[in-house]
A and B are shown apart, each in its own frame.
Chain A
């Protein structure tokens, strides 16, 4: 299936699909097209976003200044204690380092920073340039581990070695070295690790509270509000819950293989997926703790009783409005499609930076006919579909925001930088409130796209 549209480059046509128009066979996980202005970042970005929220670790970017500075404190990941993750550390490589090698500088930087901050571990990220000049990060990290008595872990994340997904994998590999190092005593048989949640605006605290009410112990947050020692002993947990599967599924698989810990894919976004995730956890533990099912039902019932009347008020206004979304990982999109249904809204465009064939097939399954599904989009394609589908709200990250705004379309930040908690039942209410504020503001009537339409309609009415 092809879409003959001037805004789409020939080479990208097989990365776009419309639900209902034939079997879905979308091309994905390929390198971004040169000159296409992809919304994607790089391998370094992938590893950085995953490891970033580990709050008591030192995160040192080995490279020129840009890579560190553009990732300095850009996320809404909160910590309940240390805040080392919010500082931006770099070896700031200079020309001479590039010529003579950066190993000495890296070593000296680690020496200095570990003494200054006494972190529980240090992650050292390689960047494009480090891959080229061939610094032996592994050797430096090994040496510093011995010297400083903390794990110093190389993250092999040279930017050009693939896309964000490769970075997720690099991050998981680095974390996997930590796991198994800690003491697992005192861990309950009814216990989980939370994978793939980044504690944006304190979301993980909402989820942890639900598990507490269910009687489930959370051993480690991986990685939102994460701690090195928790991760080191997280192989003592009974179950891994994987939310952002793109970023942490690799780790869950590695743990299953080495430690035999099963995992479940979960989602804390929207009512159904949140409830379903909790029920499945209850189901998993019901043999060990039979009353967990009842406690979980009570929890969901209580939360929904509070939530539903409030949602209904927003739904009245939002009924029938149309949504486009472009997200990093596609798993989030599944939940959002369902969440929007609760608000009476219709998703008409959905895309992601790093979805897999299976992800897109599932999206085709759950979306209405005519919905545009798109892999690795760019501003021109996104603006094209926003216009074509005449959407009311766009869900994306900071790079997508001005595209929506220029076209006079409401925008909801559902990416790393957001400062609103959107997970759990509490989050669903925040989400509804934000979508309502995004769609219902009177400002849209002044934005030219709608203003001109309103003017034309008025003119027509007068003429009739």
Chain B
């Protein structure tokens, strides 16, 4: 059996981190709300760096406001700049929601954002104010996934405060997935006859159409009215086996009795089956024919392709729940995950992987939390992988080991269309499966002295 090494006894320093900072995750989540603009309470650099980073993946304008704190503010507190910043954002962007995430700077100087919000409401209550949501995201505590989940929970807890009449809707908290994944989820719900509140919904706000004008805040995103009515939903489905104990989903369950279904990201056949079973049960409708067919085609493809990939050794890394989903999928198709790593710590990654690979995995992977790429590389040397599955940042290592990198997740900085990659459901699994098989075939061709054109 494998052993989880969370404390990284070997290295003090971090080399090529396999995680991003907390406010980035919060910014992404706030971008998935209708009329929402992310606002980082900190120095100007944080917002700019994160914008730059996110833009490179989504290739969309990403406007993140900042309280642009300077040295004086660091000493006397950032309240005045926060308030002025919100007012300026209101003037120029006319947002429906301003999502304020703190940074290491403002957390450390002890800025009291709830108090500033109260003052702001008192001072400017006569204005037509947007919704203000705050989340505490010190960047020395957790990773971008914590920022994401924290922002989602904050939105649920700060916007959905009343017991809403039964809406018959289903809440979906989809975790950090792609724009295409969200679009696919919405289609699935439509076909099940489910009206879904997907929070956040970045499908349009971070993958928008070409337009006549520069849109201050792109259309789309979860409507605020829907968020407020989440308490009236018939159920919540939240994706993630490594989620924090308390999330938007558990909060709705505790406060309003909305049944919370916590399932893994629907990746691979069995995890997707679980998702579709939950949809059947919450909708009362059987699985639509089209998904039976998708599932059937997927099984057929698994069979057709099994020999190309059986026994290949994969290194997998990324966000904790994505890693779990990938392990579920890869173990089903006979790929041995030899190392599964995430930059997060304390997320129960090993247990989650054991659950989703039970009965399919032939070997238990080395599971590493709080890894960086230096750790991964140190392990991988002895593990001799055939395949690397993760985001773009593993490219230099895959290149060094001369093995293919199948790009999934965030960020995809060295390929085009990362926001349109599909990972979820039978269809997403199919797309992943084709990519994995083709990556192996391509490598075989590249290495071949004959150059088989018929494989």
A binding-site residues for B, Cβ under 8 Å: 7, 9, 31-45, 60, 63-74, 86-95, 97-98, 105, 108-109, 111-113, 127-129, 131-133, 159-163, 379-380, 383-384, 386-387, 398-399, 401-403, 405-408, 446-449, 452
**A132 proximity list for chain B (CB < 8 A):** 74, 105, 108-109
Please pick, from B48, B86, B140, the residue contacting A129 in the complex, using a CB distance under 8 A. Answer: B140
B385 CB to nearest A CB, Å: 21
Question: Is B210 an interface residue when CB atoms closer than 8 A count as contact?
Answer: yes
A163 to B43, CA, bound (A): 10
Contact B66–A65 (Cβ < 8 Å): no
Segment at the A interface, from B14-22, B256-264, B283-291, B441-449: B14-22
Q: A156 CB to closest chain B CB, in angstroms?
A: 12
CB atoms of B43 and A42 under 8 A apart: yes
Complexed CA–CA distance, A69 and B52 (Å): 12
B46 close to A (CB within 8 Å)? yes
Closest chain A residue, CB of each to CB of B88: A35
Complex interface: chain B residues within 8 A of A35 (CB)? 39, 65-68, 84-89, 92
State whether A9 touches B88 (Cβ < 8 A): yes
Decide if A44 touches B45 in the complex (CB within 8 Å): yes
Asked if A92 and B16 make an inter-chain contact with CB atoms under 8 angstroms apart, the answer reads no
Q: Return 23 A-B CB contacts under 8 Å, by A number.
A: A7-B92, A34-B68, A34-B88, A36-B65, A38-B68, A65-B17, A65-B20, A67-B49, A68-B17, A69-B20, A90-B17, A92-B14, A94-B140, A98-B138, A108-B13, A111-B12, A129-B108, A132-B74, A160-B42, A399-B51, A402-B55, A406-B61, A406-B215
Q: Which residues of B51-108 have CB atoms within 8 Å of chain A's CB atoms?
A: 51-53, 55-56, 59-71, 73-74, 81-82, 84-89, 91-93, 103-105, 108
Range for the number of chain B residues in contact with chain A: 35 or more
Shortest Cβ gap from B88 to chain A (Å): 3
Contact in complex: B140, A399 (CB < 8 Å): no
State the total of A-B contacts with C-beta under 8 angstroms: 233
Give the distance in Å from the alpha carbon of A129 to the alpha carbon of B73 in the complex: 14
Cα(A65)–Cα(B52), bound, Å = 16
Residues on the A chain within 8 Å of B17, using CB: 65, 68-69, 72, 88, 90, 92
Given contacts A160-B74, A380-B92, A402-B59, 14 further A-B contacts (CB under 8 A): A34-B66, A35-B88, A38-B66, A39-B48, A42-B43, A66-B49, A68-B17, A69-B20, A72-B16, A89-B14, A90-B17, A93-B140, A160-B43, A387-B213
Q: Does B231 reach chain A (CB closer than 8 Å)?
A: no
Count chain B CB atoms within 10 A of each CB in A127, A128, A133, A161 and give the residue with the most: A128
* B139 and A65 form a contact (CB under 8 A): yes
Chain B proximity of A383: nearest CB distance (Å):
3
**In the complex, which residues of chain A have a beta carbon less than 8 angstroms from the beta carbon of B24?**
66
Complex interface: chain B residues within 8 A of A66 (CB): 20-21, 23-24, 46, 49-50, 104, 139
Query: B165 — which chain A residues lie within 8 A by C-beta?
Result: none
Determine if A90 and B13 form an interchain contact, defined as CB atoms under 8 angstroms apart.
yes
- Residue pair A64, B104 in contact (C-beta under 8 Å): yes
> How distant is A86 from chain B, measured CB to nearest CB, in Å?
8
Contact bitstring B320-331, A, C-beta under 8 A = 1, else 0: 000000000000
Question: Are A162 and B141 interface neighbours, CB within 8 A?
Answer: no
Among A7, A98, A408: residue with most chain B CB under 10 A:
A98
Report which of B21, B49, B210 forms a contact with A45, defined as CB distance below 8 A: B49
Residues of B within 8 A of A (CB): 11-17, 19-21, 23-24, 39, 42-53, 55-56, 59-71, 73-74, 81-82, 84-89, 91-93, 103-105, 108-109, 138-141, 143, 208, 210-216, 343, 393, 396
Q: Which residues of A contact B88 (CB under 8 A)?
A: 9, 33-36
Q: Provide the bound-state CA to CA distance between A16 and B215, in Å.
A: 22
A382 to chain B, nearest CB (A): 8
Given contacts A65-B17, A87-B16, contact A31 B108 (CB under 8 A): no
Please give me the residue from chain A that is nearest to B10 by CB atom: A112
CA distance A74 to B50 in the complex (A): 13
Q: Quick check: A383 and B13 within 8 Å, CB to CB? A: no
Q: In the docked arrangement, what's the CA distance between A446 and B210, Å?
A: 9
Collect the chain A residues with CB atoms within 8 Å of residue B216's CB.
380
User: Is the CB–CB distance between B214 and A380 below 8 Å?
Assistant: yes
A70 cross-chain contacts in B, Cβ below 8 A: 20, 49-50, 52-53
Tell me if B84 and A68 are in contact (CB < 8 A).
no
In Å, the complex CA distance between A31 and B69 comes to: 9
Min CB gap B274→A, angstroms: 33
Docked CA distance A91–B73 (Å): 25
A74's closest neighbor in chain B, by CB?
A: B52
Complex formed: what's the CA distance from A384 to B215 in Å?
11
Residue of B16, B69, B84, B104 ringed by the most chain A CB atoms within 10 A: B104
CB of B304, distance to nearest CB on chain A (Å) = 38
**Cα–Cα distance between A401 and B55 once the two chains are bound (Å):** 9
| In contact, A398 and B55 (Cβ under 8 angstroms) | yes
A34 CB contacts on chain B under 8 angstroms: 65-68, 81-82, 84-85, 88
Q: Are B211 and A45 in contact (CB under 8 A)?
A: no
Partner of A162, one of B15, B71, B91, B343: B71
Contact of A406 among B46, B91, B210 (CB under 8 A): B210
Most central of B51, B103, B214 by chain A CB within 10 Å: B214
A159 and B55 within 8 A (CB)? no
Contact check, B108 vs A98: say whether CB atoms are below 8 A apart.
yes
Contact B61 A398 (CB under 8 A): no
B65 touches A37 (CB 8 A): yes
Residues from chain A with a CB closer than 8 A to the CB of B49 are 41, 45, 66-67, 70-71
CB of A88 within 8 A of CB of B13, answer no
CB atoms of A129 and B105 under 8 A apart = yes
B61 (CB) vs chain A CBs: closest residue: A402
CA distance A349 to B377 in the complex (A): 47
Determine the distance from Cα of A44 to Cα of B48 in the docked complex, in whole angstroms: 12
Identify the 8 closest CB pairs spanning chains A and B, nearest first: A42-B45, A66-B21, A35-B88, A35-B85, A34-B85, A383-B214, A109-B13, A160-B43
